Structure 1
Amino acid sequence: MEKYILGSSLLLAASGVVEAQNQVENTVKGEVRVDKPHIVLIMSDQHRGDAMNCMGNSAVVTPNMDALAQDGTLFTNGYSSTPSSTPARAGLLTGLSPWHHGMLGYGRVGSSYRYEMPAMLRELGYFTFGIGKMHWFPQKTLHGFHGTLVDESGRVESDDFISDYRLWFHMQAPGKNPDATGIGWNDHGAGVYRLSEELHPTAWTGQMACEMIRNYDKGSGEPLFLKVSFARPHSPYDPPQRLLELYEGRNVSEPVVGEWCKDKEYAVLQDVATAPKDAAFGNFGKEYAKKSRRYYYANVTFVDEEIGKVIKALKEEGMYDNALICYISDHGDMLGDHHHWRKTYPYEGSVHVPYIVKWPAKCGFAKGGKVEAPVELRGLLPTFLDMAGGKVPEDMDGCSLAGLMRDGDGAWRKYIDLEHATCYSPDNYWCALTDGKVKYVWRFHTGEEELFDLSKDPYELKNVVNEKRYRSLLLTLRKAMVEHLSERGEEFVKEDKLQVLRHTVLYSPFFPDENPVDTGI
């Protein structure tokens, strides 16, 4: 146990590492294939897909994300099917679509699923460990991990819970307040982190990941599955001062505003002083929004720096070449686009996420490529199983990205489905289909439709649903939506027609827990 040095025996006990080490020592070595790649899943919270330099946004400083993409594959149309934290993480965990894992909007992740990423990789001989934000319930649920060290952004969902990050913080800075910056976790205002940056949760997550990599027994014959989950750039937008200074004078763009929302009530310029700090909608002026973006981008750069440290540790320990490394986020952040803030919307700022895969060297896939086929978080678990020599279940909705790399997109899905149950406003209850080039949106409560030609209008400035030249495309996508929703029964589709719903369906019949909870957002 001496190799798991995290600064305190108290933290070791809290993390479950003692039990994890005992389990690893009892693993039958003959059942482990030493040629399996290490798998490192790096994710962040609320990182929108265009907030990376390698995605064409020159205002954002992301050299390590860019380098990872250059050494692997950049999937330019990566999506989060249910763009809020918990349902997105359920899809990542299970490899299933929203209807099949059961969460159609924000609630509590189920306690146990038939498919769980850490458990399935553990069965394949991996030592499995998670660091950072899991956003599960109960908050120390393992889902097959040998152990976790969690940072839950201050959320406490049971009386006896305190996150491992906060335990560590109180040992490093007794008596200080980890929330001293004074910005709530859904606020879109911004401020500089008020404490030493070494105490920031982004720094902690990177440090813990590097310690695990350096302490891992490379001679054990057991491959490592390590999930590194950063709680930023999700608000609070609270970067260290030195990183904010990188953005002085940089051309940070102002939000885009579509023609379809200019007459909305929230489009009227509002007083920042009197508006809710976490308002889901609102026009607070261009300078306010640009300031939020600047601080948000600085948080992205902070995460990028820590990713660089993780990659450096993998290289120093001789693990990088034989590692499958992925970088994704659970959903995006509207950052004021169309006067929308936060997430849960069908628009690109909310649903489009970073999606980078660095393949093990032995795969022989070309480096630095870009793939336009639509991919989603559910695709990572089948990819990991594929690369680890496991079997991908036939009823798993996700498909292996390695198969896409090997076979091309000829047999790949045409569209990826997106949806979110009612949140923030009654009409924000929708389902969408996209291939990254077009997007069709169906509003469950109102029956309204939206159609965007992303190839010509990537910022979704014009809803072309009523334009004659798009009539054929509209009918094609409407039919595809009918086919997608048909399995849900006549409440959703009747006589081949989409149905308007009077109530919200938050959990499908496939949700594994008997008494699901609507926790709000």
Structure 2
Amino acid sequence: MKTKTLTSLAALTVTAGFAAAPSSPATRQPVARPNVLFIVCDDLRLNLGCYGDSSAITPNIDRLATQGTLFARAYTQQAVCNPSRQSVLTGRRPDSLRVWDLRADFRKTTPDAVPMPEHFKLNGYYTHSIGKIYHDGKRDPQSWSDVEQQLRAPKRDDYHLEENRKPHKGGKAAATEFVDAPDEEYADGKTARDAVASLKQLAGREPGALPFFLAVGFRKPHAPFTAPKRYWDLYDPKKIPPLEQAAPPMGAPTLALHNSVELRGYSDMPKVDAFTPEQIARLRHGYYAATSFTDAQIGRVLDALKQTGLDKNTIIVLWSDHGYHLGEHGLWCKTTCYEADTRVPFIIATPDGRPRGVRTDALVELLDIYPTLIELCNLPSRDKLEGRSLVSNLGNPNAKGLDGACSQFPRPWQYRKDGVPSVMGYAVRSATHRYVEWRKFGTLEVVERELYAYKGDQLFETENIVAHPGNADLVRSHAAMITKKVP
């Protein structure tokens, strides 16, 4: 961020967001609208202390959970980076955007969509991006008041060992690596460094400067699992939770599964054969280490927010673009309609007097972030947003959620660059079940169905019970929820 840009912004005052109480325009006083610190992680699943994983060492995200509301049942709209992020940022479903792959851009497919940071910018906010917010390397100058920082992180920079830094097909070398190295030699360390510097500059502006929307995107724990050695050393490999539910769900259709091609692209991973127990253990250890590394970078940003005093008027939102499989169901990475891929960490902390340290089991979607921030920041609403405001859920574990949260995923993955998917899977998660319809793309013809029952916080499906006698009413009610949201 350029200091001169912040200096010039300091002279600008807030011209919107007046209090409603004064009796006439002449006596109204400007209200200090809240800032927004918008934090997104890549591939972060629920292996966090605040989500009940006693093995995870994530003190900073856990601390944030004590300061706000933790949404225990939040769902992404598509479990892969680009569609998920564009959906969140525009407040529209992947089908509405026609963005289902890693290349499509809503600016071309849905040019009337106005993303969240642009809406804030148009309504008197200074907006800035550091790290991965849209898909890696995607520049979107309309969203930001200043040039994006840490926009691209080449795969080569994930590594320190020379055998991993030399050219590899697709840029992927080993799936894991650890060396003694400073945090700031990694992309997320640089993102945290720049976010801290930006917060210090924002805190030094003149009174009356524009409120800010600062988006900070961390790339871990996305593979490769390459964090400094000290984060690996936090964990005893023998105490990493063992793999559970290693087999696919009984009766799952082939369409629902995949061959873990994303992980198999790394140079030390099997291209076809099964992963060995040693590989599984190493990968799971690496995921926990990478998660703790990113948690530490989030902690640096949260500490800077507090040290500058900006925490007193800043809303903090933390979310993950999707979940992840670590060998469960025989799957690695994401790209399914299942619980472990679609259910994500999501926390909102507000600087007002709402109850803190609240957990809610209300079903919510990441689409809800956009309308929630609009209401919290008293901005004009936008047409065509497909989520709902969660303000009534903040601090209130008894507030109602959705009857069903919807996600989707195409097959094959990935489809041809000049084509469209052959089949689209649509999933709805109710309080007790997940129902999936696999439809021929562009028609209503259903080619496969799945229905799974869950107990409590269960993350992994066991048996497809869609054909069981007595489940017809469940199938009809869940299918109706899909049709309502994704006609």
TM-score class, shorter? 0.7 to 0.9
Hey, what's the Cα distance between the residues in 1 that align with 2:41 and 2:277? 26
Q: Which runs of 5+ in 2 are unaligned?
A: 18-29, 415-420, 441-445
Structure 1 counterpart of 2:418: none
Structure 2 counterpart of 1:44: 41
TM-score, scaled relative to structure 1: 0.77
Given the superposition, is the C-alpha separation of residues 404 and 329 from structure 1 closer, same or farther in structure 2, using an over 3 Å criterion? same
Secondary structure (helix, strand or coil) at the match of 1:143 reads: helix
Q: 1:97 aligns with which of 93, 98, 101?
A: 93
Given the superposition, is the C-alpha separation of residues 390 and 310 from structure 1 closer, same or farther in structure 2, using an over 3 Å criterion? same
Structure 2 counterpart of 1:308: 299
Give the deviation of 1:278 after TM superposition. Answer: 7.1
Work out whether 1:215 is the aligned partner of 2:210. no
Cα offsets for 1:52-78 (capped at 9, x unmatched): 111111121111111111111110011
Report if aligned partners of 2:164, 2:174 keep a CA contact under 8 Å in 1.
no
Work out whether 1:251 is the aligned partner of 2:240. yes
Hey, what's the Cα distance between the residues in 1 that align with 2:343 and 2:172? 19
Amino acid at match of 2:193: Q
TM-score, scaled relative to structure 2: 0.82
Amino acid at match of 2:74: G
Q: 1:227 aligns with which of 192, 195, 215?
A: 215
Work out whether 1:191 is the aligned partner of 2:182. no
- Farther-moved stretch of structure 1 (106-115 vs 182-191): 182-191
Given the superposition, is the C-alpha separation of residues 409 and 60 from structure 1 closer, same or farther in structure 2, using an over 3 Å criterion? same
Hey, what's the Cα distance between the residues in 1 that align with 2:337 and 2:62? 26
- Farther-moved stretch of structure 1 (128-137 vs 36-45): 128-137
Work out whether 1:365 is the aligned partner of 2:354. yes
Given the superposition, is the C-alpha separation of residues 391 and 195 from structure 1 closer, same or farther in structure 2, using an over 3 Å criterion? same
Cα offsets for 1:443-498 (capped at 9, x unmatched): 12471111111236541112121222433211211233333343xxxxxxxxxxxx
Hey, what's the Cα distance between the residues in 2 that align with 1:238 and 1:82? 25
Cα offsets for 1:169-223 (capped at 9, x unmatched): 9xxx9xx999479797777832215754321111111111111011113534221
- Farther-moved stretch of structure 1 (305-314 vs 195-204): 195-204
Let me know the Cα RMSD of the aligned residues: 3.6
Hey, what's the Cα distance between the residues in 1 that align with 2:167 and 2:89? 32
Give the deviation of 1:431 after TM superposition. Answer: 0.9
Give the deviation of 1:301 after TM superposition. Answer: 0.5
Amino acid at match of 1:200: Y
Work out whether 1:467 is the aligned partner of 2:463. no
Identity score, percent: 23
Q: 1:434 aligns with which of 429, 433, 437?
A: 429
Hey, what's the Cα distance between the residues in 2 that align with 1:274 and 1:29? 50
Given the superposition, is the C-alpha separation of residues 340 and 315 from structure 1 closer, same or farther in structure 2, using an over 3 Å criterion? same
Structure 1 counterpart of 2:480: 479
Secondary structure (helix, strand or coil) at the match of 2:206 reads: helix
Give the deviation of 1:422 after TM superposition. Answer: 2.1
Amino acid at match of 1:225: F
Hey, what's the Cα distance between the residues in 2 that align with 1:86 and 1:336? 23
Secondary structure (helix, strand or coil) at the match of 2:385 reads: coil
Cα offsets for 1:104-131 (capped at 9, x unmatched): 3433322354321111112232111110
Amino acid at match of 1:44: C
Structure 1 counterpart of 2:369: 380
Cα offsets for 1:497-518 (capped at 9, x unmatched): xxxxxxxxxxxxxxxxxxxxxx
Secondary structure (helix, strand or coil) at the match of 1:229 reads: strand
Given the superposition, is the C-alpha separation of residues 458 and 288 from structure 1 closer, same or farther in structure 2, using an over 3 Å criterion? same
Work out whether 1:295 is the aligned partner of 2:286. yes
Structure 2 counterpart of 1:88: 84
Report if aligned partners of 1:181, 1:193 keep a CA contact under 8 Å in 2.
no
Amino acid at match of 2:284: R
Report if aligned partners of 2:81, 2:321 keep a CA contact under 8 Å in 1.
yes
Give the deviation of 1:305 after TM superposition. Answer: 0.6
Give the deviation of 1:326 after TM superposition. Answer: 1.0
Report if aligned partners of 2:358, 2:396 keep a CA contact under 8 Å in 1.
no
Number of equivalenced pairs: 451
Work out whether 1:260 is the aligned partner of 2:250. yes
Give the deviation of 1:141 after TM superposition. Answer: 1.9
Amino acid at match of 1:447: V
Structure 2 counterpart of 1:333: 324
- Farther-moved stretch of structure 1 (199-208 vs 384-393): 384-393
Matches within 5 A, 1:53-452: 53-111=49-107, 112-136=111-135, 139-147=138-146, 148-154=148-154, 179=165, 189-193=175-179, 195-216=181-202, 217-221=204-208, 222-248=210-236, 249-256=238-245, 257-260=247-250, 283-360=274-351, 362=352, 364-405=353-394, 412-424=401-413, 429-445=424-440, 447-452=447-452
- Farther-moved stretch of structure 1 (293-302 vs 460-469): 460-469
Given the superposition, is the C-alpha separation of residues 288 and 136 from structure 1 closer, same or farther in structure 2, using an over 3 Å criterion? closer
Give the deviation of 1:138 after TM superposition. Answer: 7.2
Give the deviation of 1:224 after TM superposition. Answer: 1.6
Hey, what's the Cα distance between the residues in 2 that align with 1:295 and 1:190? 6
Structure 2 counterpart of 1:514: none
Cα offsets for 1:152-179 (capped at 9, x unmatched): 23279xxxxxxxxx8xx9xxx9xx9994
Structure 1 counterpart of 2:21: none
Hey, what's the Cα distance between the residues in 1 that align with 2:78 and 2:172? 18
Secondary structure (helix, strand or coil) at the match of 2:149 reads: strand
Report if aligned partners of 2:137, 2:152 keep a CA contact under 8 Å in 1.
no
Amino acid at match of 1:400: S
Structure 2 counterpart of 1:492: none
- Farther-moved stretch of structure 1 (444-453 vs 340-349): 444-453
Report if aligned partners of 2:76, 2:407 keep a CA contact under 8 Å in 1.
yes
